[in-house]
Amino acid sequence: MKKVVLFFLLLIPLNVGAIKYPDLNSKYVIVYNLTDEEMLYEMESERVISIASLTKIATTITAIEEIKDLSETVTITNKILNTVDPVLSKAGLKAGDEVTYLDLLYASMLPSGADATNSLAILSSDSIDGFVDKMNALAKRIGLNDTHFVNVTGLDEEGHYSSTKDVLNLLKYALSNKTFKEIFTTKKYTLSNGLVVKSTLDKYNAFLNLDLSKVEGSKTGFTYDAGYCMASLADIDNHEIIIINLDAPYETGVSYHLIDNANLIDFVEDNYDNITLVSKDETIKKIKVSLSNLDSYSIKANSDIIKLLPIDYDKDLLEITYEGKEKINFTDKKGSKIGKVIYKYDGKEILTEDEIVDQDIKIDYLKIVKQYFYISIIILLLPLLLKKKRR
Q: Tens-digit pLDDT profile for the chain (391 aa)?
A: 445 444 443 433 334 456 778 889 999 999 999 998 999 999 999 999 999 999 999 999 999 999 999 999 999 999 999 999 988 899 999 999 999 999 999 999 999 999 999 999 999 998 999 999 999 999 999 999 999 999 999 999 999 999 999 999 999 999 999 999 999 999 999 999 999 999 998 888 888 888 888 999 999 999 999 999 999 999 998 999 999 999 999 887 788 999 999 999 999 999 998 888 888 888 888 888 887 777 888 888 888 888 888 888 888 888 888 898 888 888 888 888 989 989 888 888 888 888 888 888 777 666 666 666 666 666 666 666 666 665 5
- Residue 11 is predicted with a pLDDT of 37
User: Using only C-alpha atoms, what is the Rg of the chain?
Assistant: 30
- Helix (H) / strand (E) containing 128: helix 128-141
Fold annotation for 1-23+272-391: Peptidoglycan synthesis regulatory factor (PBP3), Domain 2 (2.60.410)
Decide: 273 and 237 in contact? Cβ < 8 Å. yes
- Residue 359 is predicted with a pLDDT of 81
- Helix (H) / strand (E) containing 41: strand 38-43
- Residue 314 is predicted with a pLDDT of 82
Pairwise CA distance, residues 75 & 133, whole Å: 23
Decide: 328 and 287 in contact? Cβ < 8 Å. yes
Decide: 91 and 116 in contact? Cβ < 8 Å. yes
- Residue 127 is predicted with a pLDDT of 93
- Residue 391 is predicted with a pLDDT of 56
Closest residue by Cα to residue 297 from 354, 352, 359, 353: 359
Q: What angle do CA 373, 298, 285 make, to 5 degrees?
A: 105
Decide: 251 and 20 in contact? Cβ < 8 Å. no
Decide: 245 and 260 in contact? Cβ < 8 Å. yes
Decide: 361 and 332 in contact? Cβ < 8 Å. yes
Pairwise CA distance, residues 223 & 202, whole Å: 19
Pairwise CA distance, residues 243 & 231, whole Å: 6
Helices (H) and strands (E) in the chain, counts: 11, 18
Decide: 297 and 326 in contact? Cβ < 8 Å. no
Fold annotation for 28-248: Beta-lactamase (3.40.710)
DSSP for 137-191, written as a single string: HHHHHTT-TT-B-S-SS----TT-BB-HHHHHHHHHHHHTSHHHHHHHT-SEEE-
Pairwise CA distance, residues 243 & 260, whole Å: 10
- Residue 106 is predicted with a pLDDT of 97
Amino acid identity of residue 128, one-letter, is I
- Helical ranges in 345-391 per DSSP H: 365-371, 373-390
- Residue 277 is predicted with a pLDDT of 83
Decide: 306 and 36 in contact? Cβ < 8 Å. no
Q: Where are the domains of the chain?
A: 1-23+272-391, 28-248
CA 150 to chain centre: 28
For 188, phi then psi, to 5°, come to: -150, 140
- Residue 278 is predicted with a pLDDT of 85
Pairwise CA distance, residues 204 & 112, whole Å: 13
Q: Which pTM does this prediction carry?
A: 0.81
Q: Is 289 left (phi over 0), alpha (psi -120 to 50) or beta?
A: beta
Q: What is the DSSP letter of 112?
A: -
Strand order in the sheet with 2-7: 2-7, 318-324, 337-345, 348-356
- Residue 107 is predicted with a pLDDT of 97
Pairwise CA distance, residues 74 & 72, whole Å: 7
